[in-house]
Structure 1
Amino acid sequence: MADTQHQEPLDLLDKVSVCLYRFGISLFSISLLVVSASLANLFSLANNMHWALLATCTASALAAANLHVYSKAVRTIIVWSSWLGILLMVGDPEQNYMWLSLGFLFVTFSGIALKESFCFNVTGLKLVPLGLAGCVLFLVLDHPLVTSVLLIPTGLIMGYLSYQKWKMPLHFDIGIKAKYQV
């Protein structure tokens, strides 16, 4: 659990990084719901999936670039999964292997969900990795409607996390600076 009694003095960069991290979580939750709607063909515009995937990549980049995790090894896995997923997404413009790109991006947010569930008691976060893994599995099996259904509760849980994070003081995300492995 996070030590909410400890308050580090935050400089401008700390405050900006926490806000960008929280914005990344917010954008990710919204993008999951748009991807869900696009997979279910609820939108008539063909470019909605493109924009939803762009938002998912942007959310991953924001969250990964501003992640505050003490363990260097855990931080490396979470961050590099995001960058690898973004590179795979950019390298596959026809999205023939969208499941692979999203899989790496989902590793990032599964790690974030587990980290947040460890630090703060937010309901449902431990289900997020299961939901995201299920989404990748059903994308591989070419079941977009099942994927769409799984994305809804996952997006809502991440949205609830986002809501809870924005209510918290900024110093909760930083923790104790001396504990970070560089």
Structure 2
Amino acid sequence: MSRADAAELRADAARNREALLQAATRTFAASATEPSMRAVAREAGVGIATLYRHFPTREALVAAVYQNQVERLTRQAGELLRRLAPSEALRAWMDLFGEWIMTKHGMVDTLRSMINSGEIAHTETRDELLAAVTGILDAGRAAGDLRSDVAADDIAAALIGIFTVTAGQSERTGRLLDLLVDGLRPRNLEG
């Protein structure tokens, strides 16, 4: 096999893995219960053997999707700050967080089992997400765009509450997220 052929095989494998991650994310988000591995492969447009070659177990797939989403959330916090005011970046990040919450619907049982067994370090994930929120809050404080008395833990608790109470009610979710961000803006002490 030539170097070019080997490189093409590696590129093809990387494309298949990415397609599988994206398909699994969509499938998990759309499912009320855990979908079959066959459903994920079908959504990705690959055979079941290709899925198992990349992710030999359901747990391996769930861990990869979970980590991919956490990395996306942490990366997006910085990207949003580069193009939006901090309060707008925080609001946009909240929508991404909601998408992440939805992704977990179809993998919640496996995920819970993996967290309980220590296969997924929940505290590390939590720390990564809190660091992303802290970065946005710090930028907002520096710009005078967000209050200085709010911690990332406060935001996380509020988001969990909002997404838990409004599951499946996107209009209401958006309205409550807007209210949360409005409450995070500095108060006008003069008026």
Fold match by TM threshold 0.5: no
TM-score (norm 2): 0.28
TM-score (norm 1): 0.29
Larger Rg: 2
Identify, as 1 or 2, the structure richer in helix. 2
